[in-house]
Structure 1
Amino acid sequence: MTSTPPPPAVPDPTPVDPAQVADPQAHADRAASFERDADVYAQVRPSYPREAVEWMLPARPRRVLDLAAGTGKLTEVAAEVAGPGAELVAVDLSPAMLQELSARLPGVTTHRGTAEDVPLADASVDAVLVGQAWHWFDATAAAAEIARVLRPGGALGVAWNDRDADVEWVARFGEILHRGDRLEPAAGNDPLAGLGAAFTAVEAHTVRWTDRVPAGALRVLAGTRSYLLTLPDDERAARLAEVDALVATHPALARRTEIELPYVTHAYRATRR
């Protein structure tokens, strides 16, 4: 019988000033939480399927912007798809996230900035990609800025990795992560609704794929979610203990050293007129 290794330790969150306790239901506090534990985020968050990125990117782009790039999960695949002649630019508000991205992808140009104030010139990129971040944006302001930096005929692509909740244990995992979370976006929602007249109609594409992770990585993955990062320490610890119990007792997970975590990637694209 194969024994299950103990789950990897989840680093304690960066100490927070008690006078500035995070609000788990506040967009600003949730977005700011990603400044903590960026190295762990880089290690355990899923990548994006190449099929989805190929579908979102135009043919032979010269310059691609990954907006709200985080640690570069989407940037890395976009660089592979775009090819060696393309320039990749990553914009994110978090210095810690950009530091991780630069360490992994030293050839990518990085800038601090937001979707509502992109630090690039007008009509300077052939594509803008957004991975797992549209819900942090002011959609109207972001659409205007993206339209500004895109060249005519350029593409906007948004990718969304959703855990496949049709799998029973995955649904239970998601319930632990998001119980009481009023800000969790609904799976499959069109994040590009209301782009405006600067863009063509939105197209959609779905890719199903599986990420293979060590059994203990489910706890670490849970610890990178913004909702858990902003919960009080005792509540966060209790949620992580529930994840440990799920891994230890569920028939699909118990005594496994590696777990197949199924995802459904929802990809959307629109073209700059």
Structure 2
Amino acid sequence: MTETISALEWRRTEIIGELRRSGQVSWEEIGRACGMTRQGATRRWSRQVQASSFDTAAGAYHRGRPGYPLSSVEWLVPRRARRVLDLGAGTGQYTRLLVEAGLKVVAVEPSEQMRRRLCVALRKAEVREGRAERIPLEDGSVDAVVVAQTWHWVDPALAVPEVARVLVPGGTLSLVWNVRDLAEPWVADLDGILRRHSRSTIDTRPSIGEPFGRPEHMEIRWSHVMTRAELLDMVASRSYVITLPEADRALLLADVDRLLDSHPDLKGREEISLPYITRCTRVRLA
């Protein structure tokens, strides 16, 4: 019964997302149809709509999202680890590093389109459907859990005990985010364009709490070289861009196009070096 209710709620979220992306309905209309205010509907579904939006942009996500520095694996995954869970694996940006490090990797991802691309790109990884709140693994079956660019979408009250359940005693939960380095002027200008449509911020040092111990943190500065098309895909694959009405999304991408054509640090360049800060957190199961 619980699984049926969860599936129905997930489908309702998908329908609301489809309606929002098409521009057919406003949050006020959604709220009215569901017997609540506009603010209530926004609080109830906007985050879930964004979290479930990646199916429609899996291609752009795969092409535009950067990888991660190899040194992050060395810090996030204990040397003794053999079997590692990549939770919310997406199309495999972090999975690839784990596989190349010689680890036995289980990649869990809720989006069907993301999983399809992951299966094609990384045949050595074991790919399963699931999410942080309901992990399809046995108790004590992995040495480490890595969550790359995903923890801000999960419900910690459900995800923390689930992660603890699948970890071996003393296992490690590691969180990692790529954050654009706004110290670079053109990156700050790009951020300004994006923030016209979303002012939400990601907590890259979230509290984990029991049964995990004290968190440790590390930052890595690096640059990702990409083409103009890949940068546009990176922008198009942001959840708040995916869920914009089509007209607003087209305007945003046109603004990014103009930035690429006009900024002195970008104009005429075939390759663009985008600076990132990779923020890492690790905690051990007490």
**The TM-score by the shorter chain falls in which range?**
0.7 to 0.9
Q: Shift in Å at residue 19 of structure 1?
A: 7.3
Q: 1:104 is matched with which residue?
A: 121
Residues 104-253 of structure 1 aligned to structure 2 (within 5 Å):
104-185=121-202, 189-191=204-206, 193=207, 195-253=208-266
Are the aligned partners of 1:206 and 1:265 in contact in 2 as well (CA < 8 Å)? yes
Aligned counterparts of 2:219 and 2:143: Cα–Cα separation in 1 = 23
Identity %: 41
Are the aligned partners of 1:178 and 1:227 in contact in 2 as well (CA < 8 Å)? no
Question: Judging changes above 3 Å, is the alpha-carbon distance between structure 1 residues 196 and 18 closer, same or farther for their aligned structure 2 residues?
Answer: closer
Q: Shift in Å at residue 21 of structure 1?
A: 2.1
Aligned counterparts of 1:251 and 1:95: Cα–Cα separation in 2 = 40
Are the aligned partners of 1:218 and 1:243 in contact in 2 as well (CA < 8 Å)? no
The two structures have a TM-score, normalised by structure 1, of 0.87
AA aligned to 1:207 is I
Aligned counterparts of 2:17 and 2:233: Cα–Cα separation in 1 = 24
The two structures have a TM-score, normalised by structure 2, of 0.83
Q: 1:4 is matched with which residue?
A: none
AA aligned to 1:72 is G
Unaligned runs of 5+ in 2: 1-14, 22-26, 28-41
1:113-162 per-residue CA deviation (whole Å, 9 max, x = no partner) reads 11011110111100000000111000121111111110011111111000
Aligned counterparts of 1:60 and 1:95: Cα–Cα separation in 2 = 32
Task: Give the aligned CA root-mean-square deviation in angstroms.
Answer: 1.8
Of the three residues 251, 265, 271, the one matched with 1:258 is 271
Tell which has more relative contact order, 1 or 2 (C-alpha 8 A, sep 6+).
1
Q: 1:72 is matched with which residue?
A: 92
Q: 1:57 is matched with which residue?
A: 77
Unaligned runs of 5+ in 1: 1-15
Q: Shift in Å at residue 209 of structure 1?
A: 0.5
Are the aligned partners of 1:178 and 1:184 in contact in 2 as well (CA < 8 Å)? no
Are the aligned partners of 2:57 and 2:242 in contact in 1 as well (CA < 8 Å)? no
